[in-house]
Chains A and B, each alone.
Chain A
Amino acid sequence: MTDKIPVTVLTGYLGAGKTTLLNRILSEPHGKRYAVIVNEFGEIGIDHDLVVGADEEVFEMNNGCICCTVRGDLIRILEGLMKRKGRFDAIIVETTGLADPAPVAQTFFVDQDVQNAARLDAVVTVADAKWLSARLKDAPEAKNQIAFADVIILNKTDLVSDAELREVEARIRAINPYAKLHKTQRCSVALDAVLGRQAFDLERILEIEPEFLGADDHDHDHDHEHEHEHEHGGLKHYHDEDMQSLALRLEGDVDPEKFMPWINALVQREGPSILRSKGILAFKGEPRRFVFQGVHMILDGDAQREWKPGERRESKLVFIGRDLKDEEIRQGFLACAA
């Protein structure tokens, strides 16, 4: 696990500031060597020798799973990069502005050779504070990128008023309340907020609580801090008509004999509309916490650390997706109680 190369996926709608963030990462004195997979060479720091051009070749796996699309070019590039192992420490994949992050993420779940060599660290989405609200209305790609993100860089905050900023933040939270959100100008964010997140590491899925309080960058948001605290209670609540998150909680144990068939059937049936899922479960008779995560139809789960003495055994699930059938999913989950 430790010698697997971490891969950060950088998404964001056209013009949001992906390249600015990428150049920032590459130019910081971090002492790390990155291999960067980009679609347009254009504005990347020119003296970086490990920049690889990709062509986002998405193909469907021939395994009967209709939404199981993967990035063929990424499999090929990672295979090639492994021949240079030891000459770089991490990989950053920049997607095009119109890309769906799912095929990139699914590549890491589906391809065994990729899985053996690399691990998905996090999906980082750069969003334009001024234009995101409009894009969420007219660009499904922008909404996918927000829904999929582990980390959201809400950039160009200097171009909007405080009220507009609160508005766009609320719109993001209506879609994805779980991502870490950083408000920036010119993508000025600490690198450890973007890299080394281990967002897809099952051992790190410790809590799945909403991030309403925000993971603000203290160095940029001092003047907002006080205001923000007060605003929290009254944070505008939006409901996005087509993309939502659903959090479910069940006190006490869950019966794995009921839960496993239910969750598998659910993602088989609703997989195309479920972008991401996560869960921490207390299985009956199991001293350890069972943790899983999913991307569309693909699930990955394992028993993790033991429940601590005094820790409340409860089971929690989170879904982010399109037109989620809230009540049906809720009832299905509650029926899995042990």
Chain B
Amino acid sequence: MAPMSQPRPSLGEHTTSIDARAHVTAAAFLGRTPALALGDGTILLVDAGEPRRLTVHPDAAILVAAAEGDRLVTGGDDGRVVVTRADGTIETAANEKGQWIDAVATRGDGAIAWSSGKAVRARDAKGEVRGWSPPSSVRGLCFTPKGYRLACAHYNGASLWFPNASAAPEFLQWKGSHLDVTVSPDGRFLVTCTQENALHGWRILDRTQMQMRGYSGKPRSLAWSNDGEWLATSGAEACILWPFQGKDGPIGKAPRECAVRPARVSRVAFHPKALLVALGYEDGFVMLCRLSDAAEIFVRQCESGAAVTALAWDLDGRRLLFGTAAGEAGLVSPPA
């Protein structure tokens, strides 16, 4: 460990501040354009030069967002699902009148999905919309890596739904409220975060279950390493990384911990090319942690002390975008 007097490596001078002026719901790169989805219903596109503010959900809040390619899909408390592109074009994909959009998901081919209350809908690349009525509200959605299939987190478990098939969705049962959902890049494991400060996982093939517990808060941010071998998670006073190398995933294995701090990790984002994870904390700190040697690099401490609520790398991992609940944001360009 380095002596206290030695300054820690810092990327503060490589950070450009952005005044987002509203709760940052999500950060993403639309192609090469940094984009922030905000609680005042706007999207801020941070091109070189003057940032552009697009009003995509007028008089509403962006509750959820997901990005793919040059598109950002946002869901608002106005019941609308909007697709925004890097060039500033806006398309209203759906309007669930009087409802809130609780979750959105994107797929590489242009398909999107959203949930509002007890309704899940998927729109394929050709624009055909299919619906499913889950047994309870769906708070988490993601497409599986293979096939046109949607993973949905809800009360008492998760479901896997083929929008184009008439068969009933496959139901993975575990008592309690399941919030966010992710599927491993190899498509073998489905993991949810739950109300009880834990993760719950299933090996999809045989439904073997796994519980990943010990968090002090809800692990609401989940990110896979580029090789698919690690799942980085928030919700503890360190980044907790679960090993998914073997056929049994994390069953019977202990997780790794990195970047221990006196505040909880609120967002995690894995570098797209290296075993390097970016971390946002509830007290506004942003850090990087390299898995090979657990080296920590301090990026930024946001002045307000508000929680980091959004964190994203660009496609080749050259830039990192972050935002907080108090509307501060920044773009980090680490030296090569």
B161 close to chain A: CB less than 8 A: no
Interface check A49, CB cutoff 8 A: yes
Q: Which of B42-50, B94-102, B246-254 contacts A (4 or more CB under 8 A)?
A: B94-102
Do A57 and B196 contact each other (CB < 8 Å), given the known contacts A76-B102, A82-B23, A83-B25? no
Q: Which residues of A280-318 have CB atoms within 8 Å of chain B's CB atoms? A: none
Distance from B103 Cβ to chain A, minimum over Cβ atoms (Å) = 10
Instruction: Please tell me if the beta carbons of A83 and B139 are within 8 angstroms of each other in the complex.
Output: no
Distance of B41 from chain A, by nearest CB (Å): 9
In chain B, positions 280-313 with a C-beta closer than 8 Å to chain A are none
A80 to B99, CA, bound (A): 12
> What distance in Å separates the Cβ of A143 from its nearest Cβ neighbour in chain B?
28
CA distance A55 to B218 in the complex (A): 23
Q: Interface residues of A, CB < 8 Å — how many?
A: 25
Q: Is A85 an interface residue (CB 8 A)?
A: yes
Q: Tell yes or no: A213 within 8 A of B by CB.
A: no
Knowing A76-B102, A83-B63, say if A52 contacts B176 (CB, 8 Å).
no
Interface bits A71-82 vs B (CB < 8 Å: 1, else 0) = 011011100101
Closest-CB distance, A61 to chain B (whole angstroms):
7
Q: Is B209 an interface residue (CB 8 A)?
A: no
A225–B218 Cα gap in the complex (Å)? 53
Q: In whole angstroms, how far apart are the Cα atoms of A85 and B156 in the complex?
A: 30
Chain A, Cβ-Cβ closest to B174? A62
- For this complex, into which size category does the number of interface residues on chain B fall? 20 to 34
Query: Is A80 in contact with B137, judged by CB distance below 8 angstroms?
Result: no
A80 to chain B, nearest CB (A): 5
A79's nearest neighbour on chain B, judged by CB, is B63
Min distance, Cβ B281 to any Cβ of chain A, angstroms = 15
Shortest Cβ distance from residue B237 to the other chain A in the assembled complex, whole angstroms: 14
Given contacts A72-B177, A80-B63, contact A61 B195 (CB under 8 A): yes
A52 touches B100 (CB 8 A): yes
Interfacial residues of chain B within 173-215, with CB under 8 A of chain A in the complex: 174-177, 194-196
Bound-state Cα–Cα, A52 to B79, Å: 11
Any A CB within 8 A of the CB of B52 = no
Tell whether A73 pairs with B61 under 8 Å between CB atoms, given A52-B100, A62-B196, A82-B23.
Answer: no
A112 vs B23: C-alpha distance when bound (angstroms): 20
CB closest residue in chain B, given A85: B23
Give B38 Cβ to nearest chain A Cβ, in Å: 8
A84–B57 alpha-carbon span in the complex (Å)? 13
Interface residues of B in 83-103 (CB under 8 A from A): 98-100, 102
C-alpha gap A61/B23 in the complex (Å): 29
**A residues less than 8 Å from B139 (CB atoms):** 76
CB distance from B63 to the nearest CB of A (A): 5
Alpha-carbon distance between A307 and B175 when the two chains are bound, in angstroms: 46
Asked if residues A72 and B155 are in contact (CB atoms below 8 Å), the reply is yes
Q: Does B62 contact A (CB under 8 A)?
A: yes
> Which of A53-99 touch B at CB < 8 Å?
53, 55, 57, 59-63, 70, 72-73, 75-77, 80, 82-85
Q: Does A158 touch B at the CB level, under 8 Å? A: no
- Residue of B117, B177, B194 with most chain A CB atoms under a 10 A cut-off: B177
Q: Return chain A residues, CB-CB under 8 Å to B117.
A: 55
**A313 CB → nearest B CB, Å:** 37
Answer whether A62 and B61 are a contact pair too, CB < 8 Å, given A55-B137, A57-B136, A57-B137.
no
Are B195 and A62 closer than 8 Å at their CB atoms? yes
Contact B217 A112 (CB under 8 A): yes
Residues of the A chain whose Cβ atoms lie less than 8 Å from the Cβ of B316: none
Q: At the interface, yes or no: B68 with Cβ under 8 Å from chain A?
A: no
Residues of B within 8 A of A112 (CB): 217-218
Q: Which residues of B contact A83 (CB under 8 A)?
A: 23, 25, 39, 61-63
B39 contacts across to A, CB distance below 8 A: 83-85
Q: Does B77 sit within 8 A of A, measured CB to CB?
A: yes
Q: Is the CB of B175 within 8 A of A60?
A: yes
Chain B, residue nearest A55 (CB): B117
B318 on interface, CB distance cutoff 8 Å: no
CA distance A60 to B156 in the complex (A): 9
Is the CB of B128 closer than 8 A to any CB of chain A?
A: no
Q: Which residues of B contact A75 (CB under 8 A)?
A: 177, 195
Interface status of B59 (Cβ within 8 A of chain A): yes
Contact A76 B137 (CB under 8 A): yes
With A80-B63, A80-B77 as contacts: A61 and B176 at CB distance below 8 Å: yes
- Choice from A53, A80, A82 contacting B98 with Cβ under 8 Å: A53
CB of A113 within 8 A of chain B? yes
Q: Please measure, in the bound complex, the distance between the C-alpha atom of A61 and the C-alpha atom of B177, giving whole angstroms.
A: 8
Contact flags A23-49 to B (C-beta < 8 A → 1, else 0):
000000000000000000100000001
> Would A53 and B99 be within 8 Å (CB), given that A61-B196, A76-B139 are in contact?
yes
- B118 close to chain A: CB less than 8 A: yes
Q: Please give the distance in Å from A12's CB to the nearest CB on chain B.
A: 24
- Which residues in window 14-60 of B have CB below 8 A to A? 23, 25, 39-40, 59
- Enumerate chain A residues within 8 angstroms of B61, measured Cβ to Cβ: 80, 83-84
Q: Is the CB of A59 within 8 A of B196?
A: no
CB proximity of B211 to chain A, nearest CB, Å:
10
Across the interface, name the chain B residue whose C-beta is closest to A117: B325
CB B299 to nearest CB in A, in angstroms, measures: 24
Q: List 28 A-B contacts (CB under 8 A).
A: A41-B98, A49-B59, A52-B100, A53-B98, A53-B99, A57-B137, A57-B155, A59-B136, A59-B155, A59-B176, A61-B196, A62-B176, A62-B177, A62-B194, A72-B137, A72-B177, A73-B137, A76-B139, A77-B100, A80-B61, A82-B23, A82-B325, A83-B25, A83-B61, A83-B62, A84-B23, A84-B61, A85-B39
Inter-chain pairs besides A80-B77, A80-B100, 12 sampled, C-beta below 8 Å? A55-B118, A57-B137, A59-B177, A61-B195, A70-B195, A73-B137, A75-B177, A83-B39, A84-B61, A84-B77, A111-B195, A112-B218
Listed from nearest, the 9 A-B pairs whose CB atoms lie closest are A62-B176, A83-B39, A83-B23, A62-B175, A83-B61, A84-B61, A80-B63, A59-B155, A62-B196
